[in-house]
Amino acid sequence: MRGAHVAIRALSHTYRRSDGPVLRDMDFEIHQGEVVALLGRSGCGKSTLLHMMAGLTHPSEGEVVINGRGVRAPSPRWVMMFQAPSLYPWMTVAQNAALGLRFSRKTNEIATRVPEVLDLVDLAAFAERNAQDLSGGQQQRVALARSLATRPEMLLLDEPFSALDAFTRRSLQQDVREIARRLGLTMVLVTHDVSEAVLMADRVLVLDANPGRVAHDVTITLKEDARRAGSDAFQEEQARLMQLYTDVAHGDATTPLG
Ligand SMILES: Nc1ncnc2c1ncn2[C@@H]1O[C@H](COP(=O)(O)OP(=O)(O)OP(=O)(O)O)[C@@H](O)[C@H]1O
């Protein structure tokens, strides 16, 4: 198992130019190999929290601890994926997938790792194509391959599927969950899509806003085949989560847990 363990300790954050705290008194853990969705309405602080896990933003109070050490800076061991795949359009798929290895000065590993990750994301046949000739979904697969090539312990996803059509989005959601599980990666996903959270996550943290706090910590107990089929169990889990999410969004949440 190579997934990261994450502990959020007494974390609060106030931006210099904001009136009050964006996040307050957050305390929770993410276990090795767990897939956790941060679900909340726009502006509740999901991206801020994710950026802190990535070491891109520092909390004004408290800390993010990964594998027992406080996070001070970005690392190839925990990588972020965004809505835009940000590829170099004139480079081939294989060259784009190799960029993370180049930046971390592991060029001697490109020849073995790039074919390995392109295979994982189902793009082996596209290795020599230019990135600009691919569809949006395929470009996100290249970005995923680039992230996986450095063998991270954790993937941090900031709504990476929201620009894709429904069919492409669904197949990427399923594939990314499967890949993360196969590799034993910890994964944290920011979303405001309840069905995405149910489909992908083992656990969903429903966030309250103003300030952002964990209002509900929900375990998704669906078996893998039920996640795929849009089964009755999936619909029930989705309805249960939607109710909690709606209550929180309308300010009817019970005592916050965070
Ligand atoms: N650099 C900044 N300076 C000041 N305020 C900021 C900054 N970045 C974000 N904010 C504010 O912090 C709050 C939380 O923003 P954040 O992007 O984390 O929310 P979010 O839940 O990810 O939203 P969305 O779903 O719309 O992406 C918002 O009110 C936003 O305006």
Q: Which domains does the chain have, with CATH numbers?
A: 1-77+186-253 (3.40.50.300)
Pick the atom of ligand 1 nearest to 44's CA. Answer: 21
- What pLDDT is stored for residue 167 in this prediction? 86
Structure confidence by residue, pLDDT tens digits, 69-104: 999 999 889 999 888 888 999 999 999 999 999 988
- What pLDDT is stored for residue 84 in this prediction? 85
Phi-psi region for residue 153, left (φ > 0), alpha (ψ -120 to 50) or beta?
alpha
CA nearest ligand 1 atom 3, residue? 15
Q: Which residues line ligand 1 (CB under 6 A)?
A: 15, 17-18, 22, 40, 42-48, 192
Which residues lie across from 121 on neighbouring strands?
none
- What pLDDT is stored for residue 255 in this prediction? 45
Q: Which residues of the chain have a pLDDT value below 70?
A: 1, 229, 252-258
CA distance 177 to 202: 10
Q: Which of 23, 24, 48, 52 to mutate to test the pocket of ligand 1 (most atoms within 8 A of CB)?
A: 48
CA distance 221 to 204: 11
ipTM over 0.90: yes
Angle at 222 between CA 79 and CA 118, to 5 degrees: 35
The rounded Å distance from CA 43 to ligand 1 centre is 5
CA nearest ligand 1 atom 27, residue? 42
For 87, counting Cβ atoms within 10 Å of its Cβ (0-12 exposed, 13-18 middle, 19+ buried), the class is buried
Token pair in block for residue 94: 């294989």
Q: Which of 12, 18, 213 to mutate to test the pocket of ligand 1 (most atoms within 8 A of CB)?
A: 18
- What pLDDT is stored for residue 229 in this prediction? 64
Q: How far apart are the first and last CA of the chain?
A: 28
- What pLDDT is stored for residue 67 in this prediction? 95
CA nearest ligand 1 atom 30, residue? 43
Tell me the pTM: 0.92
- What pLDDT is stored for residue 63 in this prediction? 97
The rounded Å distance from CA 26 to ligand 1 centre is 16
- What pLDDT is stored for residue 231 in this prediction? 85
- What pLDDT is stored for residue 17 in this prediction? 81
